[in-house]
Amino acid sequence: MKLSRKKKGIVIGALLFIICNGLLLYFDKNQFVERKSFVHKWSGTFTSDLVESVSIRGVFASEEDAPVYFDESTGAFQEFFVEVGDEVNEGDDLYSYEVLNYENQVNDLELEASKIEEEITAINTYITDLESYSIEEAETDDPFGSFDSPFSEDEEGLEEDSDEDSENDDSTAAAEIIKEEALSDKEKELAQKEAELAMVNDQLDQLTTTGQTITVQSSFNGIVRDLSEDLSSPLLTLSSTSLIVEGEVSEEDRKLLEEEMRTEVTVTDLDEGEVTLQGTLAELDTFSEETAVQKASKYPFEITLSEEHEDIHPGYHTDVDVITDEVSGTIAAFDELLITEEHLYAWEMTDSGTLERKEIETGLEEDGVVEIVDGLENQVKLAEENNERFRNLTPFVTPIDLRHIKEDELFHGSKAVMKENFLLGVFNR
């Protein structure tokens, strides 16, 4: 079938149009012809909270163990009043024994009571001096005198003069926290010593009353974890109901972690499903428990928890996320929008209708979302693809959104207007 002369002219004209445009672009070294960038998909920046963490494994353990001993030289053991798994409170009966030498036992208990009273006096003095210690006045005076400061040399250095007021404020706040922690530790120690003194005095009262039998009471709140039927030491071991998380980290993770980092401790397969508890990396050993060329180094750690859960018990295993860095309300973008060559950059679709190449600086990254430290503002549009034909500061074109096209208006108007609009669209492209 032969084409008519009119149709041949249309085909030849179209071919010439395409060839001329191609040659024009090829020889347009000075870019006199306006170029456009076609963007198929785009997204944008947004605000987000990002967290950088290290994932490790741990196991729940009792925060404190209290061994209870029995000296067979003091008497003959009689009986236990508790069993493994029993929960005991301070003052509850643990076991009894018959005294062999009344006078020696009385002297031993009186010496023990005197020793504990001296320790209590020393702790009270420490607490009094520490409570009166002023961080602000420490620059000129040393109220401790012979008193052992709870601050190490580095921590006391926080109190020295600084050229920056902000650094002084941070140093004072850090020193106050250290002071409060030292007070809390000493108050716990004081309570323990007072409980021990009460137990010894009670044993003295029993000897005075019975002259022969002593019932040993608990100076500790906890659960009976072990009980020695053959009377070997320790006779009993009590474990506190408060839990910590223990474990070991690899050499690689040890380089990323520091004490006092925030943690999220997650336990699965509970009756209510998954539970996450907040905690703090309280202790992180500097030395590996075992060093060998052929073995991986492991560093013990301990996490204290700021909350408890009744369904979690010692021995339960857990996944731990140690938060090494975090930001709130930062500008962020999806990492697939960022391109790396010599420098990291992205294509921003500006309000003026041009595509602009923006070099950027990034920060934290979490699950494909990246913090934008510098280079982009919030709520800007970014081209998703890395198109080699993109040109900086050129107009961009996006696909037609058919949802905004109304069929009844598509062919509305005269043929001359429709023809003019069609030609304008072709030449603009």
Residue-wise pLDDT for 49-77, tens only, equals: 999 999 999 999 999 888 999 888 888 89
Task: Label residue 374 by pLDDT band (50, 70, 90).
Answer: very high
* CB atoms near residue 212 (< 10 Å): 14
Both tokens of 310, joined, read 């009744």
Contacts of 214 (CB under 8 A, 6+ apart): 75, 96, 97, 99, 105, 203, 206, 207
Task: Label residue 33 by pLDDT band (50, 70, 90).
Answer: very low
pLDDT tens by residue, 243-279: 999 999 999 999 999 999 999 999 998 888 899 999 9
Q: Which of 241, 320, 250, 244 is nearest to 282 (CA)?
A: 244
Alpha carbons within 13 A on the beta-carbon side of 269: 4
Cβ–Cβ under 8 Å, residues 375 and 359:
yes
Backbone angles phi, psi at 136, to 5 degrees: -65, -35
The pLDDT of residue 237 is above 90: yes
pLDDT tens by residue, 313-332: 899 999 999 999 999 999 99
- Per-residue pLDDT, 279: 95
The pLDDT of residue 82 is above 50: yes
The Cα 39–Cα 32 span in angstroms is 22
> Distance between alpha carbon 139 and the CA centroid of its chain, in Å?
35
Could you tell me which residue, 293 or 118, shows the higher pLDDT? 118
